[in-house]
Every structure is written in structure tokens, then in C-alpha cells.
Amino acid sequence: MAHLLPVADTAADSSARWVRRKQARPGEILEAALALFVEKGFAATKMEDIARQAGVTKGTPYLYFSNKEEIFKAVVREAMLPNLERAEQLSRNHEGGAFQLIERVLTGWWEGICLTQFCGICKLVVAESGNFPELAQFFYQEVVGRGQKLIENAIMQGVASGEFRQMDVHNSMRVLFAPALMSMIWEHSLGKCEQVPIDKERFFVCYLDFLRHGLLQPPNNKNHEEH
């Protein structure tokens, strides 16, 4: 009879581990899906592939997600929206200059997305947008459009305050946005063909330097306007 207490404890421990494991499964499924989507493409990835990659049975993903499209949307929401929401919060609370805000927003995006496994999502969306326009539209509305609005507002504020030179705000936003987006696409496409890979840290420093010289009012012009 003495063995019953240890057996009961073991069963409780096993039950607790099972609960923790069950709670972790959606995240494990999303992680597996992201890796497969980037490697094979959205169309070529099957639900059973995701299950196999996650180490679960074929039917398990359906307990949490109705289909592959819902998994993709969940990947985007889990991977990218927290970074975007932090940037939007930063923009609302920012009290410094417009360029400082842009620099902080881009640094957060660079560190939270571009330097992580999440950067493959952008290449995935571009590659699959023709076959799955509804997913491309979802990605644009949830991520790209909001990011563009945030940057465009910052540029507009900089121009209005005199910190930035006069410019076409909307198209300047597009020019600013393009290198960050392209760097993520490049890494998972033609970047694999380069003999010397991009030094991401130096690339980002150069990127900010270009923006600084392209956006800020030249000192002589600023002094002239003040007089």
C-alpha cells in the first residue's frame, strides 16, 4: 500500500505536464507552420506536414485552427502584430523629434522582425500573393498598411515642424519603407546566391544614415528659413 502515494504524485505530475503540453501546442503548431511556409511555400505546405513538423497527430492542428489560412493569419498576428502595436504605442507617447521617432520605430522593427525567423513572412506573402490574394490583403491591412500610416504621420509631423525638408510625404514614406521590406525578401531569395552575405548590422546603420540625410532639413536651409 505504501506505493500508492508515489504513484499518485507521479500521476499528478504527469497530468500537469500534459496540461502544459496541451497549452503549448498552438504555439508549437504555429512555429512549425512558419518554418514550412517559408521553406516550401504556403501552397505546397499541407496540414499534415505542419502536424508532422510539430510532432503531433494529423488531426491535432484542426483542434485549434479550422484550416491552413487560419494558421497563416495566426502566425502573422503572433509574430508581427505585437511589434507593430508597440510601435503604435511609441508613436502616441513620443515627445521628441520626428526623426528620433522614425529611428526608434525602425530599430524596434529591425530587431523584432528582421533579425528573427519572422522576416521570412514578407517573402512568403510576396511569393504567394498572386495565388492567395485574400491572404495578401489580410497582411496588407493588418501589418503593412498600419506601418505605412505610422511612418507617413511621422514624416508629416517632421515636415510641419521644419525638422524635415519639404517633400512628397506619401511617396517619401514608400521610399523609406522599401529597403526594410526588400531586405527581408532578399534574405530568403536572391541573398542565398551571394558569396558574401549581407552584414545586417552595417546595412541598418547605412539605412538610417541615408534616411537622416534624406529627411532632415540641411542646417543652412533651416537657418535661412528661421531668418
- The span from the CA of 134 to the CA of 140, in Å, is 10
Surface-to-core class of residue 77, CB atoms within 10 Å of its CB (0-12 exposed, 13-18 middle, 19+ buried): middle
- My answer on whether 160 and 50 are in the same domain is no
Strand partners for 164: 216
- My answer on whether 141 and 156 are in the same domain is yes
- My answer on whether 135 and 173 are in the same domain is yes
Find the CATH number of the domain harbouring 15. 1.10.10.60
pLDDT in the model for residue 218: 86
Query: For residue 43, what is the DSSP state?
Result: T
**CA distances in angstroms from 90 to 87, 96, 102, 106, listed in the order given:** 5, 11, 10, 11
- The span from the CA of 218 to the CA of 113, in Å, is 32
pLDDT in the model for residue 89: 96
- My answer on whether 107 and 9 are in the same domain is no
pLDDT in the model for residue 117: 87
- My answer on whether 103 and 205 are in the same domain is yes
CB contact at 8 A, 115 and 178: no
pLDDT in the model for residue 8: 44
- My answer on whether 13 and 108 are in the same domain is no
Q: Tell me the DSSP string of 46-87.
A: -HHHHHHHHTS-TTHHHHH-SSHHHHHHHHHHHHTHHHHHHH
Count of alpha carbons within 13 angstroms of residue 9, beta-carbon side: 4
Q: Which residues lie below 8 Å from residue 184, measured CB to CB, with a gap of 6+?
A: 113, 114, 119, 120, 121, 122, 123
- The span from the CA of 17 to the CA of 91, in Å, is 41
Give the domain extent around 87.
Answer: 80-226
pLDDT in the model for residue 18: 40
- My answer on whether 50 and 88 are in the same domain is no
- My answer on whether 63 and 15 are in the same domain is yes
Residue 216: phi and psi, rounded to 5, are: -70, 145
Tally of domains in the chain? 2
User: What global pTM score does this model have?
Assistant: 0.81
- My answer on whether 111 and 179 are in the same domain is yes
CB contact at 8 A, 101 and 154: yes
Using alpha carbons only, how large is the chain's radius of gyration in Å? 23
pLDDT in the model for residue 216: 97
Q: Which long-range contacts (CB under 8 A, 24 or more apart) does 124-130 make?
A: 124/37, 124/38, 124/41, 124/42, 124/188, 126/185, 127/41, 128/41, 128/42, 128/43
Low-confidence ranges of the chain (pLDDT < 50): 1-9, 11-20, 224, 227
- My answer on whether 95 and 63 are in the same domain is no
Find the CATH number of the domain harbouring 178. 1.10.357
Location of C-alpha cell 523629434:
97
CB contact at 8 A, 113 and 184: yes
Surface-to-core class of residue 170, CB atoms within 10 Å of its CB (0-12 exposed, 13-18 middle, 19+ buried): exposed
